[in-house]
């Protein structure tokens, strides 16, 4: 491999876009060429600095659900927007280069996130997180929609092997909106659904023989998860709500406030 070929492939190597043989060829060249290795180190350093300086904003669950609903609409319902001048033509070159760099870093971050997804945490937590995200799709959030605990709790009778706890917390800022049945860890489990402003909170529960009543917490892809063993059951609280408010909700739900 020539130096030119190596330099042309450096960005793709950093972003993880090369197939195994191509990546191996580039790495072999870098091992024997100090100049190309220096270029790679400079590119990696610049990418990490730019990534570290980015401000990240998490969209609330309701906004994510609306976006998914919009994307799910049939093409016939989508009205074509007026043709616009591509943003890169309207931008000055320095601004365009900076924007392209940001896009490149975000692309690299997403690629890295997907590549490391299987090592991100416990498989049960990943299953709960997938269930929570799936629930935000249109028509998936509740099987029984009600803000009355006396409607939601009896609905589960005969459908799951336990009667879930359904406290009414709307006066404390966590209104009940309903419940559903989901399939987690090889069993059908009840899920009670609350909201906090525009954030959805899914509460999963199933029988458990756990001895410790110590809560456990985890975070993944902008979502928080809290596990609380209690009185022969295991509770999981999942939401993109900030950790402090989700902790407060879990304490109110379990009566440990």
Length of the chain: 257
- Name 82's Cβ contacts closer than 8 Å, sequence gap at least 6: none
How is residue 8 annotated by DSSP? Answer: H
**Residues 185, 64, 112: CA angle, nearest 5 degrees:** 70
Q: What is the mean pLDDT of residues 193-208?
A: 96
Q: Is the pLDDT of residue 120 over 50?
A: no
Phi, psi of 195 (to 5 degrees): -130, 160
In this structure, what token pair is assigned to residue 191? 């899920």
pLDDT band of residue 4 (cuts 50, 70, 90) is confident
> What are the residues facing 230 on neighbouring strands?
233
Q: Cα 94 vs. chain centroid, distance in angstroms?
A: 33
Q: What is the mean pLDDT of residues 132-148?
A: 94
| Cα distance from N-terminal residue to C-terminal residue, the chain | 65
For residue range 50-107, list pLDDT tens digits in order: 766 665 666 767 677 667 666 655 555 545 445 554 444 555 545 545 555 555 555 5
- DSSP string for 152-193: HHHHTTTTSSS------BGGGTB-EEEEEEEEETTEEEEEEE
pLDDT at 117: 43
In this structure, what token pair is assigned to residue 1? 């491999």
Yes or no: say if 106 and 57 are a contact pair by the CB < 8 Å rule. Answer: no
d(CA 166, CA 152): 8
How many helices (H) and strands (E) the chain has is answered by: 9, 7
Q: Is the pLDDT of residue 36 over 50?
A: yes
pLDDT band of residue 46 (cuts 50, 70, 90) is confident
Yes or no: say if 145 and 179 are a contact pair by the CB < 8 Å rule. Answer: no
Highest mean pLDDT (candidates 42-46, 59-63, 249-253): 249-253
Distances (CA, A) of 133 to 22, 129, 185, 201, 238: 35, 6, 16, 11, 10
């Amino acid at each position: 491999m020539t130096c030119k070929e190596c330099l042309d492939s450096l960005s793709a190597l950093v972003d993880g876009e090369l197939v195994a043989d191509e990546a191996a060829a580039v790495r072999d060249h870098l091992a024997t060429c100090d100049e190309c290795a220096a270029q790679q180190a400079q590119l990696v350093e610049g990418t990490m600095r730019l990534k570290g300086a980015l401000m990240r904003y998490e969209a609330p669950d309701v906004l994510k659900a609306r976006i998914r609903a919009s994307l799910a609409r049939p093409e016939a319902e989508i009205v074509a927007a007026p043709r616009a001048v591509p943003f890169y033509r309207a931008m000055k070159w320095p601004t365009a280069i900076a924007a392209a760099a940001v896009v490149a870093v975000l692309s690299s971050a997403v690629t890295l996130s997907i590549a490391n997804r299987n090592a991100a945490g416990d498989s049960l937590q990943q299953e709960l997180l997938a269930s929570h995200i799936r629930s935000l799709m249109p028509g998936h959030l509740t099987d029984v929609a009600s803000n009355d605990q006396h409607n939601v709790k009896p609905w589960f009778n005969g459908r799951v092997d336990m009667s879930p706890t359904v406290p009414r917390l709307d006066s404390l800022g966590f209104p009940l909106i309903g419940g559903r049945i989901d399939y987690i860890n090889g069993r059908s489990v009840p899920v009670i659904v609350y909201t906090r402003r525009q954030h959805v909170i899914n509460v999963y529960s199933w029988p458990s023989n756990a001895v410790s009543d110590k809560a456990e917490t985890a975070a993944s892809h902008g979502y928080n998860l809290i596990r609380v063993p209690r009185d022969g059951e295991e509770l999981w609280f999942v939401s993109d709500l900030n950790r402090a408010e989700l902790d407060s909700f879990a304490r109110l739900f379990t009566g440990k406030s």
